[in-house]
Amino acid sequence: MALHGWTMTLKPGCEAEYDRAHREIWPEMLAMLHGSGITQYAIFRDGRTVFGCMDTPDIAATRAHIAASPVNARWQAEMRKLVEDDPRRTGPGVAMAMERAWDMPPPKR
């Protein structure tokens, strides 16, 4: 498996709505994520800064599956209302992929 991170910034005052949407995630959205190859997914929020980290063996296949999903298109439309525009964003989603900077090496034996 491989970890992949993303980030975004919420619009001022949208923090509670963002948290609510994820507490009440649509069952069909969750099913689509499970079907995309993601084995673990966590989202962290510090004020308006949001960071997500997912584990998937094939990020290209996972992204293609998610991008082709009608339920994801609906979810992204809802999330876009809560997320600041960013000129660095290149895809249709609201999050921006992050470059991996470091991996903890295994312990020496």
pLDDT in tens, 8-54: 999 999 999 999 999 999 999 999 999 999 999 999 999 999 999 99
The owner of tokens 């995630």 is: 25
Q: Record the pTM.
A: 0.87
- For CA atoms 87, 92, 93, 95, the dihedral sign is negative
Q: For this structure, is 34 an active site residue?
A: no
pLDDT 10s digits, 63-83: 999 999 999 999 999 999 999
Query: What separation in angstroms does the CA of 73 have from each of 32, 45, 78?
Result: 12, 23, 9
What is the domain partition of the chain in residue ranges? Answer: 2-97
Q: What CATH fold (topology level) applies to the domain 2-97?
A: Alpha-Beta Plaits (3.30.70)
A 10 A CB-CB count for 15 gives 15
Dump strand ranges (E) for 10-57.
40-46, 49-56
